[in-house]
């Protein structure tokens, strides 16, 4: 198959050890099979890194990748993806981020920037069309995300796409994110630490190279169809515009599936103080859409002390209900601190919640207690609203107790002898949907290739808000098939460079129609889902190669064996084993969850 559009067919390979940059052609077959973005990154990482690669060693590689739809002005298609081996978990990881960096990256004329090796001193990379420079970053090292970005904006202009790490990334904190346009995070799994390990502070991208398309008329028709459906679906038409993602605080809490007090409860009784209505009334400034997005879920916010971007739903939850903090202003300040230092808010808030439980139960040793008192002036307890801000800053600086917390909740809980207090899957902190109230999400978390992640099979839409259809959230019937469908579909979305919120309005047939219009290769919804299945299986094969087994497809004991005592999900149990068995059969894997030889052959792996 010959591609007629969607890609430049070029990979820019930068070796920081040798300070070299070279252009390589990307074969059409790989682009057709893996689409771009997350899928192409999985293929590159699997092929180019050996088993046992140290995530923070120079042998690890990191890929900034665009999707097939970046640059064609389809709704929500400004997202880029970073793929690498995760320092926090050791799994394959990919993180997608919005803003306008993805659009600017595609405009350079490259589909991928591959980073390998390690610089001998701090550097940043500038790519302007085909002009590539590796430049000294001594003047940027030690500065936070906002300071470093401002310096680069002054040099390269407001239109440049800038992705940078903060002090957390420099210090190789395992919760570090890569931040673009200051406040958009390619987060989770510690990918910012990989940049720090390579002494790479930032990447600046700019250009005027257009994304080719097979048929401008067909693309216009596909865009019009996308816009019509996105403009008609209730969530994308009204709800996300009105309240942004914080609208979920009320919804999930009312279902009794709002993880509270480090997942001890499913209802946050003081949630009104952190509700979307309170958020909008007291702190909302304006919407801040990503490039070309008609939804505009992101928010510019302010407090009496500061102005910034966010927080999103997961952040309000992680620093709020999970830590029993009801002061929304403090939650916003913790979010601002994470953006400034370059931290993943979900894992940061979850690790602080784990520390609160360890502290209250007397599990910290004297050294940890002394460091905590030095940081916050007292022992750490649930509900400490000042501590969430102070500890976020300490983690961001890798300073004192922050250096210990920056390991993430799994290593923290293990260090003090109580691993059961870490609410993680495969080492990654579970986000803001308790699977005791959402049976499908239980299976989605357990089987996710990235670990505890909601964005790889988001059944919350169907189980909690009846979008794009309604299913019984307590039933396990049919959930394995739906989890597989959502996982494969999300792999497609991430690889196209689109936003996951599009799945609230459009379906695989729409993704297939757009990809065909852009590339010139006719395909169907079923065929494009097969590409998503190929991506999912390759990620699974990567994790298998790195030693992950059936034993890792599980949930924390608290979630599996401690039903809620009150709320609308009271007394519910998760039937994980039964769902896993059916899921493996549907994927045509072995009973141990290994990708079968038949499936490898079927998918051309």
Going along the chain from its start, the domains and CATH numbers come out as: 10-206 (3.60.9.10), 245-425 (1.10.569.10), 428-603 (1.10.599.10)
81-99: average pLDDT = 97
Which residue pairs, CB below 8 angstroms and at least 24 apart, start in 593-600? Answer: 593/549, 593/550, 593/553, 594/544, 595/537, 595/540, 595/541, 595/544, 599/537, 600/537, 600/541
Q: What is the DSSP letter of 343?
A: B
Q: Cα–Cα distance between 473 and 435 in angstroms, integer?
A: 9
468-494: average pLDDT = 96
Q: Cα–Cα distance between 282 and 445 in angstroms, integer?
A: 34
Share of the chain above pLDDT 70, in %: 100
Residue 499: closest CA among 190, 256, 291: 291
What pLDDT score does 331 carry?
98
Q: What's this model's pTM, rounded to 2 decimal places?
A: 0.97
Cα-to-chain-centroid distance, residue 92:
13
CB-based contact 356:384 (threshold 8 Å): yes
Phi-psi region of 244 (alpha: psi -120 to 50; beta: other; left: phi over 0): left
Q: What is the DSSP letter of 211?
A: P
For residue 81, which phi and psi values (nearest 5 degrees)?
A: -130, 140
Going by pLDDT thresholds of 50, 70 and 90, the confidence category of residue 192 is very high
CB-based contact 297:240 (threshold 8 Å): yes
Going by pLDDT thresholds of 50, 70 and 90, the confidence category of residue 467 is confident
Q: What is the DSSP letter of 170?
A: H
* Alpha-carbon distance values, 415 to 58, 110, 357, 397, 577 (Å): 27, 44, 14, 21, 29
| pLDDT above 90 for 550 | yes
How crowded is residue 184: how many other Cβ atoms within 10 Å of its Cβ? 26
What pLDDT score does 2 carry?
87
Cα-to-chain-centroid distance, residue 12:
24
Strands 424-425 and 123-128: unpaired
Name the average pLDDT for the chain: 97
Residues 268-318 have pLDDT tens digits of 999 999 999 999 999 999 999 999 899 999 999 999 999 999 999 999 999
108-130: average pLDDT = 98
Edge-to-edge strand ranges of the sheet holding 299-302: 284-287, 299-302, 307-309
What pLDDT score does 468 carry?
85
Structural element, H or E, at residue 101: helix 101-106
Residue 347: closest CA among 415, 450, 417, 423: 423
| pLDDT above 90 for 384 | yes
What pLDDT score does 253 carry?
97
What pLDDT score does 469 carry?
87
| pLDDT above 80 for 1 | no
Q: Cα–Cα distance between 195 and 204 in angstroms, integer?
A: 14
Query: Hey, is 575 helix, strand or coil?
Result: coil
Residue 103: closest CA among 290, 272, 361: 290
* Alpha-carbon distance values, 273 to 319, 388, 566 (Å): 13, 16, 21
CB-based contact 160:176 (threshold 8 Å): no
What pLDDT score does 394 carry?
98
Residue 419: closest CA among 549, 546, 557: 557
Residue 171: closest CA among 355, 363, 505, 407: 407
What pLDDT score does 182 carry?
96
The angle, 0 to 180 degrees and rounded to 10, between the axes of the packed helices 479-496 and 525-545 is 90
* Alpha-carbon distance values, 349 to 44, 165, 189, 559 (Å): 32, 19, 14, 18
Query: Hey, is 418 helix, strand or coil?
Result: coil
225-252: average pLDDT = 93
Residues in the chain: 605
Residue 200: closest CA among 119, 138, 84: 119
For residue 184, which phi and psi values (nearest 5 degrees)?
A: -95, 130
The per-residue DSSP string of 247-289 comes to GHHHHHHHTT---BTTTTBS--TTGGGGSHHHHHHHHEEEE-P
* Alpha-carbon distance values, 272 to 304, 310, 316 (Å): 20, 18, 12
| pLDDT above 80 for 18 | yes
Query: Hey, is 223 helix, strand or coil?
Result: helix
What pLDDT score does 466 carry?
87
Strands 80-85 and 92-97: antiparallel
Query: Hey, is 59 helix, strand or coil?
Result: coil
Going by pLDDT thresholds of 50, 70 and 90, the confidence category of residue 168 is very high
For residue 80, which phi and psi values (nearest 5 degrees)?
A: -115, 165
Helix, strand, coil tally for the chain in percent (to 5): 45, 15, 40
Omega before 494 within 30 of 0, i.e. cis: no
Largest CA distance in the chain: 69
């Amino acid at each position: 198959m010959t591609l007629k559009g969607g890609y430049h067919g070029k990979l820019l390979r930068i070796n920081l050890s040798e300070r070299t940059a070279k252009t390589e052609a990307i074969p059409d077959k790989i682009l057709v099979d893996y689409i771009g973005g997350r899928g192409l990154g999985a293929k590159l990482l699997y092929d180019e890194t050996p088993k046992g690669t140290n995530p923070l060693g120079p042998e690890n590689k990191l890929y900034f990748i665009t999707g097939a739809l970046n640059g064609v002005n389809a709704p929500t298609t400004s997202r880029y993806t970073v793929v690498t081996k995760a320092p926090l978990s050791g799994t394959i990881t990919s993180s997608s981020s919005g803003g306008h960096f993805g659009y600017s990256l595609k405009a350079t004329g490259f589909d991928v920037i591959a980073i390998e090796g390690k610089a001998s001193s701090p550097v940043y990379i500038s790519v302007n069309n085909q002009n590539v420079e590796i430049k000294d970053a001594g003047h940027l090292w030690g500065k936070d995300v906002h300071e470093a970005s401002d310096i680069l904006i002054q040099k390269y202009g407001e239109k440049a796409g800038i992705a940078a790490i903060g002090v957390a990334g420099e210090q190789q904190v395992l919760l570090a994110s890569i931040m673009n346009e200051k406040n958009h995070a390619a987060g989770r799994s510690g990918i910012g630490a990989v940049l720090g390990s390579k002494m790479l502070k930032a990447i600046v991208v700019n250009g005027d190279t257009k994304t080719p398309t097979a048929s401008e008329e067909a693309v216009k028709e596909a865009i019009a169809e996308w816009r019509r459906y996105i403009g008609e679906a209730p969530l994308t038409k009204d709800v996300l515009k009105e309240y942004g993602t914080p609208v979920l605080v009320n919804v999930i809490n009312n279902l009794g599936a709002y993880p509270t007090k480090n997942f001890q409860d499913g209802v946050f009784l003081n949630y009104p103080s952190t509700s979307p209505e309170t958020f909008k009334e007291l702190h909302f400034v304006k919407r801040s859409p990503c490039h070309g997005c008609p939804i505009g879920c992101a928010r510019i916010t302010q407090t009496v002390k500061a102005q910034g971007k966010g927080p999103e739903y997961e952040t309000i939850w992680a620093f709020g209900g999970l830590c029993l903090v009801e002061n929304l202003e403090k939650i916003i300040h913790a979010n601002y601190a994470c953006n400034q230092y370059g931290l993943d808010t979900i894992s940061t808030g979850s690790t602080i919640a784990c520390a609160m439980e360890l502290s209250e139960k007397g599990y910290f040793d004297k050294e940890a207690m002394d460091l905590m008192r030095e940081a916050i002036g007292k022992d750490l307890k649930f509900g400490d609203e000042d501590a969430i801000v102070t500890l976020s800053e300490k983690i961001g600086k890798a300073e004192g107790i922050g250096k210990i917390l920056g390991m993430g909740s799994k290593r923290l809980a293990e260090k003090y002898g109580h691993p059961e207090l870490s609410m993680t899957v495969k080492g990654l902190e579970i986000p803001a949907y308790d699977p005791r109230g959402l049976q499908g999400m239980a299976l989605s978390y357990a089987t996710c290739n990235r670990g505890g992640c909601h964005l790889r099979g988001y059944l919350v839409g169907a189980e909690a808000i009846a979008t794009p259809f309604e299913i019984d959230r307590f039933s396990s019937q049919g959930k394995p098939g739906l989890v597989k469908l959502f996982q494969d579909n999300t792999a497609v979305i991430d690889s196209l460079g689109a936003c996951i919120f599009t799945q609230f309005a459009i379906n695989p047939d729409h993704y297939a129609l757009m990809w065909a219009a852009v590339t010139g290769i006719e395909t169907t919804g079923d065929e494009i889902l097969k590409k998503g299945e190929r991506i999912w299986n390759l990620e699974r094969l990567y994790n298998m190669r790195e030693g992950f087994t059936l034993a890792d497809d599980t949930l924390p004991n608290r979630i599996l064996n401690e039903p809620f005592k009150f709320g609308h999900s009271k007394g519910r149990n998760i039937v994980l084993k039964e769902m896993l068995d059916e899921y493996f059969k549907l994927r045509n894997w072995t009973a141990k969850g290994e990708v079968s030889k038949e499936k490898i052959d079927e998918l051309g792996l």
